[in-house]
Amino acid sequence: MEIVYVYTKKRSEFGRQCNFSDRPAELHVDILPDPSQMDNYIERNPCDTPTQCAQEMSEHEVNTERFQTETRGINHVEGGWPKDINPQEMEQTIRYRKKVEKDENYINTVLQLGSLMEHCIKQNTAIDIYQQYFEEEEASEVAEEQPSAKTINVFRDPNEIKRTATGLSWHPDGAKKLAVAYSSLEFQRATKDMSFDSYIWDIENPDKPEMTLKPVSLLVCLEYNPKDSHVLIGGCYNGQIAYWDTRKGSQPVEMSTVEHSHRDPVYKVIWLQSKTGTDYFSASTDGHVLWWDIRKMSEPTERLILDPSRKGNLDNALGAISLEFETTMPTKFMVGTEQGQVVSCNRKAKTPAEKIVCTYSGHHGPIYALQRNPFFPKNFLTVADWTARIWSEEIKESSIMWTKYHMTYLTDGCWSPVRPAVFFTTRMDGTLDVWDLLFKQNDPTLSLKVCDESLYSLRVQDNGRFLACGSQLGTTTLLEISPGLCTLQRNEKALATAMFERETKREKILEARHREMRLKERSRSEQSKEEEAKDVDTEESSEDLVARAEKEFFEVVEFELKKREREEEKSQSKADSEKEVSEEKEAQDLS
């Protein structure tokens, strides 16, 4: 029902001022109640309406700004001397003191205080009220605490465009500083605006980095010189290597020449043990391992092409992604490749062919981390694809221990420097796993979600207590591990030795058996080659086998289908019978 009121106005009267006039109310429409409409509605009684009598509140989020703290100290200097006396002048001060000593008040006071003091001193010497009773019992009460790790500090990439923290290195003395290399490892993801800087952080000051390093290209890895804590080398994304001296500023002191450097990003640089402390070597996915001396960066001192066929053929070469060098074994080193193999090499070999000693394969993807166990150098840890594996140098066919296949890639790992059976791994879902092989071998002892993005790098400090891990958005988190995970347990070394030996023995036995089986098969296949008739038979029998397999498969499928039909019928009949029962019940009720 529309209620419409029409009014007209002459065109010539448009735009004129309004002359308001008053008039009484006019009735336009009168709608009377229509009782017949009631039939369209049913009364609902009672009605449920919810009401709420509560205070209206609003939610507000507040986040305070980062609080900048500074640590300062106070230096006490002698003071309080009266104005006319210069505290530096010995004569004046001595004269003043002598004057005070002659004062009667002083004498009386000191005598009185002296006697009071003597009383207390004698008390102390009589009985030591702070003596520790039952000291021996305390030692056995090593609390069985849950292993845990606490985040101490978070260092964020100060640039707008965040880069991944791909390399970490602790300062060699005292580890109060952490050098972090930032780069972008995704192919061609580095934009023009991306800053090339990498930073050195003071671990107590997360607000701004202590020092900036400005290379010519993004730094993929960074290492402090363990002998000289002012020198750092960094491998760049463009294949060059630069070295810095922190006393000389942010620009690199020297860079390797482009012609002689790597052709791919330098994934790892490690300092070597030498008299001069200036040697290091670098590895890259272009298949080369180069040795350099800091004093002469124009050319590498030595080259090695990672060709598994030992011919020095660059086309066959494997790309290197990680390096391993242990100062206790200076002639050997290992290279982890993109193809999933670990190549063990000897530095002192005469010919390049002899340099590559052996390879260990078993991984499906690039080996992101490779490290020997600091307590058992014969065993080393590799982290690649979805697992972490532990190998023994003697067993070349497979690893002796391995973790289960995880849901995400593992990106980095390292041993704990204080406990032989503990190692850490980081994953692409931002989780840090702490594995204690003497406690649990199937699962990590502690699994921590450090951040939401993937973690790319991990470094443990030499005291085993602090851990730094770098993530995809450049956030480096510093964690402290509970003391249970970083103190050597009582017979841990013996247990770990026994465990590694046991696993190595098992693998040796398996290897021997495999070899035997292979020999047997080879001799068998040689025998069968002489009998050609059998060849035809084998062909036919293979076809038969296929037909048989198909028949079996279809039989199984049909059987399952029939079973399902039977079950459906059963449940249907059950439902029917139930329905009947309930209908009967209703009929009874109604009647």
Partner 1 sequence: MEAEVEETLKRIQSQKGVQGIIVVNAEGIPIKTTLDNSTTVQYAAQIHQLVLKARSTVRDMDPQNDLTFLRLRCKKNEIMVAPDKEYFLIVIQNPTD
Q: Given the DSSP bridges, would you call strands 266-271 and 279-284 parallel, antiparallel or unpaired?
A: antiparallel
The DSSP bridge pattern shows strands 266-271 and 466-471 to be unpaired
Query: How far apart are CB 130 and partner 1 at their closest, in Å?
Result: 6
Selection from 200, 203, 260, 255 nearest residue 233 by Cα: 255
Taking CB under 8 A as the criterion, the residue among 105, 140, 146, 542 binding partner 1 is 105
* Dihedral over Cα of 34, 38, 43, 49: its sign: negative
Q: Does 133 sit near partner 1 (CB under 8 A)? A: no
Helix, strand or coil, per DSSP, at residue 290: strand
Of the two residues 35 and 80, which places its CB atom closer to partner 1 in the complex? 80
Determine the length of the chain: 591
Kindly tell me which of 110 and 161 has the beta carbon lying closer to partner 1. 110
Q: How far apart are CA 268 and CA 223, in angstroms?
A: 9
Q: How far is the CB of 176 from partner 1 (least distance, A)?
A: 25
Nearer to partner 1, 124 or 251 (CB): 124
Residue span binding partner 1 (CB under 8 A) among the ranges 6-14, 118-126, 340-348, 459-467: 118-126
- 122 near partner 1, judged by CB under 8 A: yes
Radius of gyration of the chain (CA): 41
Residue with the two structure tokens 């090695």: 304
The per-residue b/e assignment along 296-329, b for 16 or more CB within 10 angstroms, e otherwise, is ebeebeeebbbbbeeebeeeebbbbbbbbbbeee
**Smallest separation (angstroms) from partner 1 to the CB of 132:** 10
Rounded Cα distance, 136 and 395, in Å: 46
Neighbouring CB atoms inside 10 A of 283's CB total 30
Smallest gap from residue 71 Cβ to partner 1 (A) = 19
Indicate whether 128 belongs to the interface with partner 1 (CB under 8 A): yes
Instruction: Candidates 112-120, 337-345, 448-456, 543-551: pick the segment binding partner 1 (CB under 8 A).
Output: 112-120
77 is a contact residue toward partner 1 (CB under 8 A): yes
Q: Examine residue 78 and tell whether it contacts partner 1 (CB under 8 A).
A: yes
User: What's the min distance (Å) between Cβ of 74 and partner 1?
Assistant: 9
Nearest approach, Cβ of residue 204 and partner 1 (Å) = 24
Encoded amino acid at 584, one letter: E
* Separation CA 310–CA 315 (nearest Å): 12
Per-residue binding letters, 21-60, with partner 1 (x by CB under 8 A):
----------------------------------------
- Say whether residue 79 binds partner 1 (CB under 8 A): yes
CB neighbourhood size of 255 (10 A): 19
Choices 2-10, 120-128, 301-309, 515-523; region in contact with partner 1 by CB under 8 A:
120-128
User: Which stretch, 116-124, 155-163, 378-386, 423-431, contacts partner 1 (CB under 8 A)?
Assistant: 116-124
Q: Quick one: 101 or 537, whose CB is closer to partner 1?
A: 101
> In angstroms, what is the minimal distance from the CB of 87 to partner 1?
9
Residue 120 in the binding site for partner 1 (CB under 8 A): yes
Residue 90 binding partner 1, by CB under 8 A: no
Number of shown-chain residues binding partner 1 (CB under 8 A)? 34
Contact window for partner 1 (CB under 8 A) among 107-115, 179-187, 489-497, 507-515 = 107-115
- Closest contact distance (angstroms) between CB of 342 and partner 1 is 51
Contact with partner 1 (CB under 8 A) among 38, 94, 121, 161: 121
Q: How many CA atoms lie within 13 A of 389 on its CB side?
A: 27
3-state percent helix, strand, coil for the chain, nearest multiple of 5? 25, 25, 45
Cis peptide leading into 46, omega within 30 of 0?
yes
CA distance 239 to 234: 10
Residue number with CB closer to partner 1 (127 or 407): 127
Among 89, 118, 394, 583, binds partner 1 (CB under 8 A): 118
User: By CB under 8 A, what part of segment 392-451 binds partner 1?
Assistant: none
Closest separation in Å from C-beta 133 to partner 1:
14
Q: Determine which helix (DSSP H) or strand (DSSP E) holds 291, and give its type and residue range.
A: strand 288-293
The answer to whether residue 80 forms part of the interface with partner 1 (CB under 8 A) is: yes
89, 106, 537, 564: residue in contact with partner 1 (rule CB under 8 A): 106
Indicate whether 101 belongs to the interface with partner 1 (CB under 8 A). yes
Cβ 91 to partner 1, closest distance in Å? 15
**Beta carbons within 8 Å of 333's beta carbon, 6+ residues apart:** 281, 323, 324, 325, 344, 345, 347
- SS3 assignment, position 514: helix
Helix 104-126 vs helix 90-102: crossing angle, to nearest 10 = 90
Q: Are 455 and 164 in contact (CB under 8 A)?
A: no
| Sole binder of partner 1 in the list 38, 100, 314, 357 (CB under 8 A) | 100
Residues near partner 1, by CB under 8 A: 76-82, 96-97, 100-102, 104-107, 109-118, 120-122, 124-125, 128, 130-131
